[in-house]
Each structure stands twice: as structure tokens, then as C-alpha cells.
Homo-oligomer: A and B are copies of this chain.
């Protein structure tokens, strides 16, 4: 079998995603318990609310893709009241993502899927959305940490 050159391999893309998830986990950990649920700037969502969104997107989104089951967007983590509940869910999702990822084939990435019944795009674009949206909100989390006088982790710490 001849190895075909790829822009990125399937294995490296999930490593990239999980690397970002590891960094976001560090950001969650750095928030003081109270500020995680209460601090915000200019009426924006708290980092708990942003994390709740991220949890509603990553693993459930990938599960929907693999099963080709269109499920509505639902924030289960909204009801969490402690950081440790968030972190526990985060770690469960790390496994869930790895398990579903193994069920993806190279042919899937260019297939179209209607994510949460709202975003009808090629699956690779759905996955880039998962990653980019997390980087975007985590960038906001960095500002919150700075405003709280806390040094955020290095961006390349994965």
C-alpha cells in the first residue's frame, strides 16, 4: 500500500483537538471556584456558562456525527454547581471523543451533516467549529483571568 500525502492525518487532528481541550481544562482549573460561576466582563457569560456551551458541543456533536443522528443542542452542564462537576464531565468527554473518533472514516469528513439540526456543513467544518469555538471562548477566559489578577497558562501548553 502506498502512503498518500495528507494535509493532516485523522489521528493528528484528534490530537490537536485534545491538546486544545487539555489547555481549556487548565483554564477551568485556574478560576477560583466563586469567580468561575460569577465573574464576567461587560455582561458577557461567566466562564461556567461558556464551559457549559463547550460541553454541549464537543462530545454530543461528535456522537451525532458518528451516528448520523440529528439531536437538538442541549446544555446539560447548565445545572452543574461546582467546578469539579465540570472537570469530571470534561474528562468523561475526553474518552467519549476518542471513542467516537475511532469510528470515523476518512470518507466521513467530506460528508455533510446537519449539526444540532442547525448547521448543515461538511463534517470537517463541524469539527473545525468545535475547535475554533473553544479557542475563541477560551481567549475570553484569558481576559477574565487577567482581570482577576491570575496569570493564564501559555497558549502552547497542551
Query: Hey, which bits of chain A sit against chain B, CB under 8 A?
Result: 4-10, 12-13, 16, 20, 41-44, 105-107, 109-110, 124-125, 128-129, 131-133, 135-140, 142-143, 146-147, 149, 155-156
A146 touches B42 (CB 8 A): yes
B140 touches A155 (CB 8 A): no
Residues in B whose Cβ lies below 8 Å from that of A7: 6-10, 13, 106, 109, 124
B155 touches A109 (CB 8 A): no
Report Cα–Cα, A137/B135, bound state, in Å.
9
Residues in B whose Cβ lies below 8 Å from that of A149: 42
Report Cα–Cα, A147/B44, bound state, in Å.
9
Residues in B whose Cβ lies below 8 Å from that of A44: 143, 146
